[in-house]
Structure 1
């Protein structure tokens, strides 16, 4: 890559960075110092930290549906009590008219 692009700065993707970080992890540290690399060892350590940070950030994302707020639940229950002949789709439509985004399936749960 150095021969192809010369001394200009390379634009590497995350996949390229992960592969280089993985391969350099397999090289013993004694030989690592003698190599003339595209990047410094500090850069590779930063890449590894970023990869781990992204991995754990992705694992900590909430799974499933986020719960509806209590005030929306109270509003849905009040609308259902005051308008006995309305179904869950009508209530969801009325809430949409008020500017509250609620799926009909969420209204149906209550």
Structure 2
């Protein structure tokens, strides 16, 4: 989220909940916290909070973080795309099969 969006969220809380005063100290403390969050998710959570709660929200109550891409899943998809473009040769398949069999024999002997 951008600084202006974070300020907008805090201003909205201040206007909807008049007892929650937006001070310079709160602004300095909360804008960096909000910048790490997803603007639309926080806004949705704030609207839900406003509709159901009479008191100003805490940051954890309205927090919404961007979804992080699972690096492992992305790598697997990348490998799969690459394998479709350049499938292994019969010789490469044979080498891989031999290595897997060797690995499995080694694993069985460890038990």
**Shared fold per TM-score greater than 0.5:** no
TM-score by length of 2: 0.28
TM-score by length of 1: 0.28
Structure showing the higher helix proportion among its residues = 2
Higher relative contact order (CA 8 A, sep 6+): 2
Question: Who wins on radius of gyration, i.e. which is larger?
Answer: 1
